Amino acid sequence: MASYMIKGGKRLKGEVEISGSKNAALGIIAASMLLDGPCTIENVPGIADVCIMIDICEYLGAEVTREEGGTVKIDPAKLRTCDATNDKARSIRASYYLMGALLGRLGKAILYMPGGCDFGTRPIDQHLKGFNALGAKHSIEFGKITLTADRLTGDHVYFDKVSVGSTVNLMIAAAKAEGVTVIENAAREPHIVDIANFLNTMGANIKGAGTDVIRITGVRTLPGNSTYAVIPDQIEAGTFMIAAAATTGDIRITNIIPKHMEPLTAKLEEMGAVIETGDEWIRVYMQRRKRLQATNFMTMPYPGFPTDLQPQSTVLLTQAEGTGRMNENVWDNRYQYIDDLKMMGAEVLITGRVATVEGPCKLTGARVTARDLRAGAAMVIAGLAAAGTTEVADVRAIERGYENFECKLRALGADISRTED
Ligand code: UD1
């Protein structure tokens, strides 16, 4: 098992460059299975989930070449199977994007019910609602889902819930369906726009991504033969912004799209952090002798406050003066890390979806666990802010989604090392 050992109490200072977006890259790699020709994808982050997605695509028959600097070349011409029940597919949530891609390309997809982080129930009813509207049938047996369609035909789909995964999956499946598909009540996350832009660059006709109505006019072929660069990772950037505030540090975060950070920027300013913004960078710092003030957060689909920054922000509230509240509105069980945080001395009360945090509190080092990807990043921030040594165990969960996390933190002055049992 791999762990991070963190000696807390250092102010993080300096510059950090953000990697490509995990969730966009995973969706784009899955969507590339739909193409009739090869494509080149740039700015792909070197993280475990991407490696797994590439392995699954190779297992399906795609030829994949990885080059230095985050460039991935994919040729899906020799796709040989629609059966993605490879053990690896169980471990990442984003393998569900292969449902839409394989259905669109081969008319059939077989997958394990998707895995990923455990935030409580993670249904796929809206994904299925979308596929069924396009004419696909599905069956679920022995933990596997099979989708089949003689042909996919465009339709109007109104999602009952704003769902990132369902929106992406239906957009992918509809890209080569006959006629027009209209998705209403679509999710608007930046990576949805990125996946739509990728597909359009490869020959698709998708309009409205980034709004709640997306219109996809199916095309016969998706020639590919183009290059596309993945957007920067909004959640990685947000994690470093929060780390700057939590350690009363001063970090310039580069290779980002500041617009994507606005839900967090607004909250950090409310709490007393100073934010400077340029074209592709943000600087976050605390003024001398100024303390963070508590505030209230509510996670919502984009452009609301992202649930994937909830654990990191809850840790930040422990460093703020006053009573702060976090209202988790997207997932029903995303507070599993709170017991670890309490072990470090935090005062947090969970009532249903709301975590009430009394601050400021002096966190002290303890042995805690990265229970999932973002909770793990939150534990690292807690360790950076705490007195003494914190061991964050099981950090492979963090490495699923953060490229060179501990190296980037060390370059900012953190005392962090990685050990392997
Ligand atoms: C994606 C992200 C995840 C993030 C989440 C919300 C990826 C790989 N993962 O997950 O990191 O936390 O968006 O921003 O991009 N729901 C249904 N029925 C469905 C699908 C979803 O009821 O068919 C519900 C879920 O239980 C949840 C809410 O909708 O309460 C949002 O889920 P969704 O946006 O689909 O999340 P994911 O795509 O799984």
Atom of ligand 1 nearest to the CA of 26: 8
Rounded to 10°, the helix 234-246/373-385 angle is 20
Atom of ligand 1 nearest to the CA of 124: 23
Listed residue (384, 411, 379) closest to 254, CA to CA: 411
**93 C-alpha to center of ligand 1: Å?**
9
Pick the residue whose CA is nearest to atom 22 on ligand 1: 123
Q: What is the pLDDT of residue 61?
A: 96
Atom of ligand 1 nearest to the CA of 97: 8
Let me know: does 21 contact 191? Beta carbons within 8 Å.
yes
Range picked from 27-41, 73-87, 118-132 for highest mean pLDDT: 27-41
- pLDDT of 112 above 90: no
- 117 included as an active-site residue: yes
Check the CA dihedral 13-399-164-80 and report its sign: positive
**124 C-alpha to center of ligand 1: Å?**
9
Nearest-angstrom CA–CA distance, 39 and 43: 13
| Catalytic residue (one of 39, 117, 361, 407) | 117
Distance of CA 85 to the CA centre of its chain: 23
Percentage of residues in the chain with pLDDT exceeding 70? Answer: 99
**25 C-alpha to center of ligand 1: Å?**
16
- pLDDT of 90 above 80: no
Mean pLDDT estimate for the chain: 95
Query: Residue 117: pLDDT band by 50, 70, 90 thresholds?
Result: low
Q: What is the pLDDT of residue 409?
A: 98
Listed residue (355, 300, 301) closest to 325, CA to CA: 355
The pLDDT tens digits of the residues spanning 264-314 come to 999 999 999 999 999 999 999 998 888 999 999 999 999 999 999 999 999
Strand order in the sheet with 250-254: 13-17, 250-254, 281-285, 274-277
Domains along the sequence of the chain with CATH:
2-19+232-420 (3.65.10.10), 22-229 (3.65.10.10)
